[in-house]
Amino acid sequence: MEPPRRSFLYKAFTLVVGAVLPLPAIAAAIAGLMNPLRPVVRQKQAPSGSVPIGKDVGYFATLDKEALQRAGGDPVRFAIIADRKDAWNVYPKSQIGAVWVQKISQSRLDFEQNWKPALLKSVLDKAPTDQKASIFEDLLEVEFSILKRQKEQDGKEWMPADGEKTRARYAKEFSQYKDAVDRIAAKPVWEGAFRVFNHSCPHAGCAVDFKKDDSGKPGYFCPCHDSVFAADGARSESSPSPRGLDRLRYGYNASQSLCVKFQEFKAGHAEQETQ
């Protein structure tokens, strides 16, 4: 039988109706699929129970200083506890992550905790002559990190101009150590008394372990794809991880307890991006 000859419009209209029919269902299903991409869902709420430091926003968790004291110079893993939201549930006081914290040295800690503007000079005055230069360089880095932190705790950003201004000021004040001031100013990160890292490997998210290798050199090691990081978090050349361990900010709350700002970053990227 010959198919009946109908006009082009007839066929086109049938196709349009046919195409429209499943659309509402498909659209609703796709909307459901894409739900995680909506800004409200995507935006991570700051977990409850944090301790604010200055005007700095974000989640600050308090750490137990005694445990650090006990560990001496070795890093300690701290669980970060907060209310964890999972779709329709809230789990109160759950572990939402963990950090590695290492005290770099007691002299840095003493300096940081007693810090006031002229402390560096007075420490230097008391130091034995032959050690002055090395003590200065060590503590200057702590001082720079404190200045930067103070600005950030006021809710402002540390700009390159701030760095330059600070460098010039110290180079003038401590002109005999001008080279040391330049060296410290040029460092990409100023370490204070502590190193704090998120324990997630920036490669694919496994938890890194602290270890001493066969030669006794300390560092972090990922049990999944064998990424290796130095004690200061720098990645080793051959590591699959695209960047070093994620360094977290720390500070002291009103009662002088050590607090870390807990943040998570996307794995697999060379640049840090918050999740």
- Please give the residue ranges that form the binding site for other proteins (CB under 8 A): 33-37, 41-42, 44, 64, 66-67, 69-72, 74, 77, 79, 86-89, 94-98, 199, 203-207, 209, 212, 216, 223-226, 235, 237-243, 266-270, 275
Instruction: Specify the residue, 94 or 150, whose C-beta has the smaller distance to other proteins.
Output: 94
Closer residue to other proteins in complex, CB, 75/251:
75
Q: In what order do the strands lie in the sheet with 218-221?
A: 209-212, 218-221, 228-230
**Please, what is the minimum distance in Å from the beta carbon of residue 204 to other proteins?**
4
**DSSP character at residue 148:** H
- Smallest gap from residue 115 Cβ to other proteins (A): 26
With b for 16 or more beta-carbon neighbours within 10 A and e for fewer, the 167-186 pattern comes to beebbeebeebeebbeebbe
CB 139 within 8 A of CB 108: yes
Contact residues for 143 (Cβ-Cβ < 8 A; gap 6+)? 111, 115, 120
Which residue, 64 or 164, is less far from other proteins as judged by CB? Answer: 64
Nearer to other proteins, 185 or 208 (CB): 208
Spatial strand order in the sheet of 60-62: 60-62, 258-261, 250-252
Q: Report the C-alpha gap between 163 and 150 in whole angstroms.
A: 13
State which residue, 16 or 67, has the beta carbon closest to other proteins.
67
φ and ψ of 184, to 5 deg: -65, -45
The distance of closest approach from Cβ of residue 37 to other proteins in the complex, given in angstroms and rounded to an integer, is 6
Q: Work out how close the CB of 236 gets to other proteins at its nearest, in angstroms, rounded to a whole number.
A: 9
From the CB of 98, what's the least distance to other proteins, in Å? 7
Nearer to other proteins, 129 or 238 (CB): 238
For other proteins, the closer of residues 53 and 228 by Cβ is 228
Quote the CA–CA distance of 249 and 189 in Å, as a whole number. Answer: 11
CB pairs under 8 A, 24+ apart, for 47-52? 47/82, 47/83, 47/84, 47/96, 47/262, 48/82, 48/83, 49/81, 49/82, 49/83, 49/93, 50/82, 51/253, 51/259
CB of 237 to other proteins, least distance (A): 6
State the nearest-atom distance from the C-beta of 264 to other proteins, in Å. Answer: 8
